[in-house]
Amino acid sequence: MIARMLSGRRVPAALQRVDRPQAIALAVGLAITAAVGWLVGGSFILAVAVAIELTAGGLGAVALMGPSQPGLGIARYTTLALAGVSATLAGRLIPGGVSLLFIPLLAVMLWAVLWLELRASFETVERTALDLALTAILFAAAAGIGGLMGNEGWPPPLGLVLLIGLVLSLRSAEARGEGGVQAVGQALLHTLAIGQVAVAVVILRIPGLVGPALVALAFYVWGGAADALGGGSNPRSVALEFGSLALLGFVVAVLMAHA
């Protein structure tokens, strides 16, 4: 059966049923590049892998999504590249033999991120999925940068995390329907909020993955609160709901850090 498929016209026919097979090829290529960054030691190889992720992810997204359209923003062209970079950095925290098992999963996740951006939809389900994806990207980036550089180094690890957080915050604002100066302003406030949490994590010396999880939680909570307020929800209810979530996350993180 496989021989007949390979020798006949079934493979092209099957590919025609796949929406944009180039997206699958791009996701697989980025996943393999990330795996090289995981398994091959040395900072030079890691730097090359990150550069490839940024270049291929950015240019590939532009080629697949096409020119920028009014109302969709420009930060969506960076999401796939940042997902690849964060996966490359965070994957080095996983033992070499085990990390091989995550390559197919990573390819699927990268394809899912690209699929969300190709949808170019601001419906509730897609926006929630995109918010979760952006949160996961920030968590992976913070964990990878922290594991690679610690709290010291150059460029400052905190600055790198906030730079990635700024771009992701801009994408989050654009997904809420904001644009132009309004989107940039909300992104700056969003970054300031997660920056305060990141500084607290450094000062309190919260170990392991708890610190990156707190930063990612702050990102998600702020974005969710901004979305709820933009949708006309009662400010007190929003403050109570998302404030309680943030407080619960902080208490759990502190208890885990000192356990």
Q: Which two tokens mark 93?
A: 């925290």
Domain parsing of the chain, residue ranges? 10-120, 155-259
Question: What is the per-residue pLDDT across 137-194, written as a single tens digit (0 to 9) for each?
Answer: 999 999 999 888 776 665 678 889 999 999 999 998 888 888 788 888 889 988 988 9
Dump pLDDT digits (tens) for 77-126: 999 999 999 999 988 888 766 777 888 999 999 999 999 888 766 677 78
| Closest alpha carbon to 223 in 114, 132, 122 | 132
pLDDT at residue 227 tops 90 = no
The structure's pTM equals: 0.83
Of 52, 18, 17, which is closest to residue 32 (Cα–Cα)? 52
